[in-house]
């Protein structure tokens, strides 16, 4: 299954005009600054923007075409809005069952009970929405969207209306969704951090147009995009747990370009994990330094360089075929004589492990 769309909309001085082919599994982040059309695109996919023109094909079903517009209630989707938007006149249970009762005929992919468990809302079922905190309301809203067993889940900045603490409360649930669900999730966000934690693929929107699309690893490391030049620029690397060193309390994590050794509580073998390496935590040497406290050193090749501010350079490295960004000073780059093709060693000072 994949999602093919070509949608356009003109409204005042804003226009949306996108053609995309999105993967039918995993989390696809629709990313961009406020006002770039992320929400409008998601609403268009849901059929909530009746003025949108174009075509939309989800799997083998046509949701919109030249002479066809499937109304929202006939599209097998789940939608989580920015605000929880629970029905005030129904209990939590009533909210969850609203869609469930109307699902008729569609196979149950996600049982209500497992959605309730996944989001940890079992103890809230008898309450009314106004008795819940913002974070709890949003968890109910996510469970409600899952309970209709959608073919595709759309989320419009589900964390944006919440404070930092509530975000931290919900993110783990979203991460476990990511690992449990085998339906595609389109996730609108302007938070780089959320995208780095959750997304597999990414669509970069700017002023209603698609600027770039691809895997998150590829887009985060593309030097021609602004993502690679922000102060907190990081590389996201997918790895699996390969083993533990009980004596030192370390875990070994294999990725396509080698093996990371990180501290942290032991995770089950073969569990997929996601690593975040900040570009400024990657230093470069021309020769392998034997005498160093740094555990993670990889041979790498410089692929490209780009200026990042007056004093800094962002270097795109390849570890095997895995790209990795390094942020060093221009002075260092000149002294090392870095140029595309230079063989270097990347010393990684710190790695954040996200499961």
Nearer to another protein, 71 or 272 (CB): 71
Name the minimum Å distance from CB 97 to another protein.
10
Name the minimum Å distance from CB 102 to another protein.
4
Residue ranges binding another protein (CB under 8 A): 46-48, 71-74, 77-79, 81, 83, 85, 87-89, 98-99, 102-104, 128, 130, 144-145, 148
Question: Are residues 275 and 237 in contact, defined by beta-carbon separation less than 8 angstroms?
Answer: yes
Half-sphere exposure of 85 (CA within 13 A, CB side): 11
Name the minimum Å distance from CB 86 to another protein.
8
Nearer to another protein, 73 or 247 (CB): 73
Half-sphere exposure of 233 (CA within 13 A, CB side): 27
Nearer to another protein, 99 or 134 (CB): 99
Nearer to another protein, 144 or 190 (CB): 144
Name the minimum Å distance from CB 142 to another protein.
12
Name the minimum Å distance from CB 72 to another protein.
4
Burial of 343 (0-12, 13-18, 19+ CB in 10 A): exposed
Nearer to another protein, 138 or 217 (CB): 138
As a whole number of angstroms, the distance between CA 302 and CA 224 comes to: 16
Nearer to another protein, 84 or 208 (CB): 84
State the DSSP string of 212-248.
EEEEHHHHHT-TTSGGGGSTT-EEEEEEEEEEEETTT
For residue 114, count other CB atoms closer than 10 A to its CB: 13
Nearer to another protein, 155 or 348 (CB): 155
As a whole number of angstroms, the distance between CA 315 and CA 347 comes to: 13
Name the minimum Å distance from CB 42 to another protein.
11
As a whole number of angstroms, the distance between CA 260 and CA 281 comes to: 14
Name the minimum Å distance from CB 47 to another protein.
8
As a whole number of angstroms, the distance between CA 118 and CA 268 comes to: 20
DSSP-derived letter for residue 123 is G
Nearer to another protein, 102 or 288 (CB): 102
Name the minimum Å distance from CB 67 to another protein.
21
As a whole number of angstroms, the distance between CA 140 and CA 143 comes to: 5
Q: Of 290, 260, 293, which Cα lies nearest the Cα of 277?
A: 260
As a whole number of angstroms, the distance between CA 274 and CA 160 comes to: 23
State the DSSP string of 277-313.
EEGGGEEEESS--SS-S--EEEEEEEEEEEEETTTEE
Nearer to another protein, 9 or 202 (CB): 9
DSSP bridge partners of 297: 347
Nearer to another protein, 83 or 254 (CB): 83
Which residues are CB-contacts of 232 (< 8 A; sequence separation ≥ 6)?
A: 192, 278
Which residues are CB-contacts of 54 (< 8 A; sequence separation ≥ 6)?
A: 5, 6, 7, 8, 64
Name the minimum Å distance from CB 202 to another protein.
24
Name the minimum Å distance from CB 105 to another protein.
10
């Amino acid at each position: 299954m994949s999602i093919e769309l070509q949608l356009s909309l003109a409204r005042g001085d804003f226009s949306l005009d996108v053609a995309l082919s999105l993967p039918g599994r995993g989390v696809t982040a629709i990313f961009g600054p406020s006002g770039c059309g992320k929400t409008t695109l998601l609403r268009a996919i849901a059929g909530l923007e009746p003025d949108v023109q174009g075509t939309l094909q989800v799997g083998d079903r046509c949701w919109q075409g030249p002479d066809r517009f499937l109304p929202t209630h006939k599209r097998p989707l789940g939608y989580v809005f920015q605000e929880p938007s629970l029905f005030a006149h129904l209990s939590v249970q009533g909210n969850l069952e609203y869609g469930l009762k109307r699902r008729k005929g569609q196979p149950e992919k996600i049982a209500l009970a497992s959605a309730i468990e996944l989001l940890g809302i079992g103890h809230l079922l008898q309450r009314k929405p106004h008795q819940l905190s913002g974070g709890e309301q949003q968890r109910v809203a996510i469970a409600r969207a899952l309970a209709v067993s959608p073919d595709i889940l759309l989320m419009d900045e589900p964390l944006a209306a919440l404070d930092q603490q509530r975000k931290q409360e919900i993110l783990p649930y979203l991460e476990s969704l990511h690992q449990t669900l085998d339906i595609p999730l389109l996730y609108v966000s302007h938070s780089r951090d959320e995208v780095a934690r959750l997304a597999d693929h990414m669509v970069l929107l700017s002023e209603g147009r698609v600027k770039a699309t691809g895997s998150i690893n590829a887009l985060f490391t593309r030097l021609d995009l602004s993502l690679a030049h922000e102060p907190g620029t990081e590389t996201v690397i997918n790895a699996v747990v390969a083993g533990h060193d009980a004596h030192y309390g370390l875990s070994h994590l294999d990725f396509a370009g080698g093996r990371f050794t990180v501290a942290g509580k032991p995770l089950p073998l073969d569990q997929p994990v996601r690593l975040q390496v900040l570009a400024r935590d990657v230093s470069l040497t021309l020769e392998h330094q034997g005498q160093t406290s740094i555990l993670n050193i990889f041979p790498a090749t410089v692929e490209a360089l780009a200026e990042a501010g007056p004093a800094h350079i962002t270097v795109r490295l390849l570890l095997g075929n895995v790209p990795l960004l390094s942020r060093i000073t221009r002075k260092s780059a000149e002294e090392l004589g870095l140029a595309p093709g230079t063989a270097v060693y990347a010393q990684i000072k710190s790695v954040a492990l996200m499961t």
